[in-house]
C-alpha cells in the first residue's frame, strides 16, 4: 500500500507513552494499553477528551479490542479500529492515523500496542507455543536458559500425539516461528554466502547501543565469541540471534504538525509511509528468504518523503532475528542484494558507524513490543531524548515493521524537521553501492554443519539395488523424535498413500495446477474448484533447511522446504537416523546444498502413520531401485 505525497503532509507524532517493559506481571494487556494511552496523551499536552481516534494493535495474548475505548471513557470517536498486521502493525497504524488526520477524518489519533506473553515462572520461549502458525513472531530469552524455538527433546516428542498435516509439520520440526526464520536465513546463506559471524555482528552492535538505554532488558556487553558460544535454537540461528520476550505497552499520538508544535514536546514529523505485502505461493520461483516486502514498502515511503537511501541518517529496523535486520537493509537499498553480510560486519550499524541502526538495542537487547519497539526509539532519537545513546544523525529516520514470516511490511520516514518543499521526488535506486564505513570489514568463515542426515535404506555409491523388499509400512524406519502421528479426515488419503510408498499432493482439475497437500482451493480457479489428490513424482530439489535443537543442545529435527518436480514447495523433513538406528556419516549434513536433488523415502511414527521424508538423490538408480525413495514413478499427466 502506498499513498500520494500529500497523504502524510503536515502530520506529526506529538506524544509517546510507555509503561514498564519486560518482566511485568499482575496486569492485563487492556490495562497496560490504557496506561500507555494516558501517558502518551499527557506527553502530547492533551486530554483524553481531545482524542477522536483510537487504533488498537493487539499482541498474542488477546483481551485487547475496541472495548479499550470504553475503558478510557472515550466518546464520539471518528475513528476506532483494531489494526493487526502483526509486527508491521505499528507502521500500518501510524500511516492510517496520518491519512485520517490529513483528510480531516480525525484530529488526534492514539495508536497503541500491548501484550503480556510472559508468565511468571515460565520459560520465556513458552510464551509463543510449540508450533508457530505464521501469525506471530517467535522469540527467545537470553537469560535463565529459557529459549523459544528449541524443540523439547526426544522424550517429550515421543509422548506427544500429533494429528493431521499440521501435526506432521510440527513433527518435522516446524514447531515455532523461529524454525521458519531459520529456514529463511539458511536460504540467504546458501544463496549469498552470508555467515553466522556476520549475523553475530548485528547482535553485538545492538548490545553496544543497549548499554546506553536504561529501559533495555539486557545491557551487559557481548562479543562475537559470546554469540557463537550461545546455544543453537534452530540452526543457523543461535540464541543471541533471537529477540527477547517482554510484557508492556507503548502508545503514540498522531495529530497535525501545527497542533503538535503547540504541545510541550518537539513534534516528530511523518514524512513518508508505505506498506508491502508480497503474498504469493510457496512454489517454484519463490523469493522466500531472499527478498521481503521491505523493498515495496521502502520505495513507497521514500518516494513520499522525496528521499533516497543515501539520505537516510538512521534506521530503526524490526529485529525479531538478526537475519531480519540484514535482509531488510538489503531490500531498502542500503547495500546491494547479497552484500548485507559484509555490510553489517563492517561496523556500520554500531556506535560510531556510518548508519546507526537500532540505537536503543532493538528487540534483541532492549524490549519486544513488536513494531512499537523501533517506532518508540525513533521518536526518542528524533526528540533528542536518547541520553547516553543519543545520536546526532537523527535528521531522517527510517522505521520498519515486519509481520508474520516476512509476509507483511510497513515503513515510516520520520524527522525532527518538517518536510522540505520540493516539486519533484528524487529517483530511488533500490540497490546503491554500500555506504563507506568507519571500520574495516572482517572476513568470516562459513559456518559448518554439525548434524548428519540419513538416507533411509540407501545403498553405498555404486552398489547394486537389493531386488526383494518388504512393503513400505514394514520397511519404514522408526523416528522417535516425530512423536505419534495420526491421520484426520482431511489427511487420511495422504497418510494411506504414504503407507503404500506413494506421495500424494493436490491438483486442480480445471487448470491442472499442482498444489501442496494442505491446499484447500486453487488460487487461480477459486473456492468452487474442488481439488483432487494426485500422485507426485517424489523427486525435487532442496530449497532450504534448518536444524532444530532442544534446550539441552540436542539436534532433534531437520525441517526442510523441498521444491517438488511438479512445482509446489513441500514442508517436510530430513531424518537424523539410519533405518537400523545407526547415525549417518558425520559429513552428511555438510554436503547439503540449496538446489540439491532429493527423492522421497518413507518413515513411520511409533504406533502411528507412515509419512514422507526426503533424502539426497545420490545416483540415477536411487529413484528406481525399490527402496523407500522409490515413490517416483506413476501417473503424472505427462509431468
What would the pLDDT profile of 117-152 be if each residue is shown by its tens digit?
998 887 776 666 543 333 233 333 333 333 343 344
What is the full DSSP assignment across 136-194? S-----SSTT--SSSB--HHHHHH-EEEHHHHHHHHHT--SHHHHHHHHHHHHHHHH--
The number of angstroms, rounded, from the C-alpha of 184 to the middle of its chain's C-alpha atoms is 8
Q: Give the confidence band of 608 by pLDDT, cuts at 50, 70, 90.
A: confident
| pLDDT for position 460 | 32
Q: Is-contact 297 407, C-beta < 8 A? A: no
Q: What does the mean pLDDT of the chain come to?
A: 84
318 belongs to the catalytic site: yes
The whole-angstrom separation of Cα 398 and Cα 385 is: 17
472's CB contacts (< 8 A; 6+ apart) are 498, 499, 500, 501, 602, 610, 628
CB neighbour list of residue 460: distance below 8 Å, 6 or more residues apart: none
pLDDT for the residue 481: 65
Instruction: In whole angstroms, give the CA distance from residue 577 to residue 470.
Output: 20
Look at residue 53 in the predicted model and tell me its pLDDT: 98
Give pLDDT tens digits for 205-246.
999 999 999 999 999 999 999 999 999 999 999 999 999 999
The three three-digit cell numbers of residue 63, written as one number = 483481551
Residues in contact with 163: Cβ distance below 8 Å, sequence separation at least 6, in sequence order: 485, 486, 487, 488
Share of the chain above pLDDT 70, in %: 78
Among 137, 241, 148, 243, residue whose Cα is nearest residue 199: 241
DSSP 433: P
Cα(116)–Cα(26) distance, integer angstroms: 10
Q: Is the torsion defined by CA of 630, 636, 638, 639 positive or negative? A: negative
Return phi, psi of residue 4, to 5°: -70, 160
Q: Are strands 514-515 and 532-535 parallel, antiparallel or unpaired?
A: unpaired
Going by pLDDT thresholds of 50, 70 and 90, the confidence category of residue 449 is: very low
For the stretch 34-85, pLDDT in tens is 999 999 999 999 999 999 999 999 999 989 999 999 999 999 999 999 999 9
**How distant, in Å, are the alpha carbons of 97, 100, 252, 379 from that of 256?**
10, 10, 13, 16
Measured in whole angstroms, how far is the alpha carbon of residue 203 from the centre of its chain?
16
pLDDT band at 528 (very low <50, low <70, confident <90, very high): confident
Is the pLDDT at 488 greater than 70? The verdict is yes
Q: Domains in the chain, ordered, with CATH? A: 7-118+241-415 (3.40.47.10), 472-624 (no CATH)
**Does the predicted TM-score (pTM) go above 0.75?**
yes
Alpha-carbon distance of 438 to 506, in angstroms, equals 54
Is residue 4 scored above 50 in pLDDT?
Answer: no
Confidence of residue 602 (pLDDT cuts 50, 70, 90): very high
Q: Which of 180, 332, 368, 611 is catalytic?
A: 368
- pLDDT tens digit string along 501-518? 999 999 999 999 999 999
Q: Which of 318, 321, 323, 367 is catalytic?
A: 318
User: Can you give the length of the chain in residues?
Assistant: 639
Amino acid at each position: 500500500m502506498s499513498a500520494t505525497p500529500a497523504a502524510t503532509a503536515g502530520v506529526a507524532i506529538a506524544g509517546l507513552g510507555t509503561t514498564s517493559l519486560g518482566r511485568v506481571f499482575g496486569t492485563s494487556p487492556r490495562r497496560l494499553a490504557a496506561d500507555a494511552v494516558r501517558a502518551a496523551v499527557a506527553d502530547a499536552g492533551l486530554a483524553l477528551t481531545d482524542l477522536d481516534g483510537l487504533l488498537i494493535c493487539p499482541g498474542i495474548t488477546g483481551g485487547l479490542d475496541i472495548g479499550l475505548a470504553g475503558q478510557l471513557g472515550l466518546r464520539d470517536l471518528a475513528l476506532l479500529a483494531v489494526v493487526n498486521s502483526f509486527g508491521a502493525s505499528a507502521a500500518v497504524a501510524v500511516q492510517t492515523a496520518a491519512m485520517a488526520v490529513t483528510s480531516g477524518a480525525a484530529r488526534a489519533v492514539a495508536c497503541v500496542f500491548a501484550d503480556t506473553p510472559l508468565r511468571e515462572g515460565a520459560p520465556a520461549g513458552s510464551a509463543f507455543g510449540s508450533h508457530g502458525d505464521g501469525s506471530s513472531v517467535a522469540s527467545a530469552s537470553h537469560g535463565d536458559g529459557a529459549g523459544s524455538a528449541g524443540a523439547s527433546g526426544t522424550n517429550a516428542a515421543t509422548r506427544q500425539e500429533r494429528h493431521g498435516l499440521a501435526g506432521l509439520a510440527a513433527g518435522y520440526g516446524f514447531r515455532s516461528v523461529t524454525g521458519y526464520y531459520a529456514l529463511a536465513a539458511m536460504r540467504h546463506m546458501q544463496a549469498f554466502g552470508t555467515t553466522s559471524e556476520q549475523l553475530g555482528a548485528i547482535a553485538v552492535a545492538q548490545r553496544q547501543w543497549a548499554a546506553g538505554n536504561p529501559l533495555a532488558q539486557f545491557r551487559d556487553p557481548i562479543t562475537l565469541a559470546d554469540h557463537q558460544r550461545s546455544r543453537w535454537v534452530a540452526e543457523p540461528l543461535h540464541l543471541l540471534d533471537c529477540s527477547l520476550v517482554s510484557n508492556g505497552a507503548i502508545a503514540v499520538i498522531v495529530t497535525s504538525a501545527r497542533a503538535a508544535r503547540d504541545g510541550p514536546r518537539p513534534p516528530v514529523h511523518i514524512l513518508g509511509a508505505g506498506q508491502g505485502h508480497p503474498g504469493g505461493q510457496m512454489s517454484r520461483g519463490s523469493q522466500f528468504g531472499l527478498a521481503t516486502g521491505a523493498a515495496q514498502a521502502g520505495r513507497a515511503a521514500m518516494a513520499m518523503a522525496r528521499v533516497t537511501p543515501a539520505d537516510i541518517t538512521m534506521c530503526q529496523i524490526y529485529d525479531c532475528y538478526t537475519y531480519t535486520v540484514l535482509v531488510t537493509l538489503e531490500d531498502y537499498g542500503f547495500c546491494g542484494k547479497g552484500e548485507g553480510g559484509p555490510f553489517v560486519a563492517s561496523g556500520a550499524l554500531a556506535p560510531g558507524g556510518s548508519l546507526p541502526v537500532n540505537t536503543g538495542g532493538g528487540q534483541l537487547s532492549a524490549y519486544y513490543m513488536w513494531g512499537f519497539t523501533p517506532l518508540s526509539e525513533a521518536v526518542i532519537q528524533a526528540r533528542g531524548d536518547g541520553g547516553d545513546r543519543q545520536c546526532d544523525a537523527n535528521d531522517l529516520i527510517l522505521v520498519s515493521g515486519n509481520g508474520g514470516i516476512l509476509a507483511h511490511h510497513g515503513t515510516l520516514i520520520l524527522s525532527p524537521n518538517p518536510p522540505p518543499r520540493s516539486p519533484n521526488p528524487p529517483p530511488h535506486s533500490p540497490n546503491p553501492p554500500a555506504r563507506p564505513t568507519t571500520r574495516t570489514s572482517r572476513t568470516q568463515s562459513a559456518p559448518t554443519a554439525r548434524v548428519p542426515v540419513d538416507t533411509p535404506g540407501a545403498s553405498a555409491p555404486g552398489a547394486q539395488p537389493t531386488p526383494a523388499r518388504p512393503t513400505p509400512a514394514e520397511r519404514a524406519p522408526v523416528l522417535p523424535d516425530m512423536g505419534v502421528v495420526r491421520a484426520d479426515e482431511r489427511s487420511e488419503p495422504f497418510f494411506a498413500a504414504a503407507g503404500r510408498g506413494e506421495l500424494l499432493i493436490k491438483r486442480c482439475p480445471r487448470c491442472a495446477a499442482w498444489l501442496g497437500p494442505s491446499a484447500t482451493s486453487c488460487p487461480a480457479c477459486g473456492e468452487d474448484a474442488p481439488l483432487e489428490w494426485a500422485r507426485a513424482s517424489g523427486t525435487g530439489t532442496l530449497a532450504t533447511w534448518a536444524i532444530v535443537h532442544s534446550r539441552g543442545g540436542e539436534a532433534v529435527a531437520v525441517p526442510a522446504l523441498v521444491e517438488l518436480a511438479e512445482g509446489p514447495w513441500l514442508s517436510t523433513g530430513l531424518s537424523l537416523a539410519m533405518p537400523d538406528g545407526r547415525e549417518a556419516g558425520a559429513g552428511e549434513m555438510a554436503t547439503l546444498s540449496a538446489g540439491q536433488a532429493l527423492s522421497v523415502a518413507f518413515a513411520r511414527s511409533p504406533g502411528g502413520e507412515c509419512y514422507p521424508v526426503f533424502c539426497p538423490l545420490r545416483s540415477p538408480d536411487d529413484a528406481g531401485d525399490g527402496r523407500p525413495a522409490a515413490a517416483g514413478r506413476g501417473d503424472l499427466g505427462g509431468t
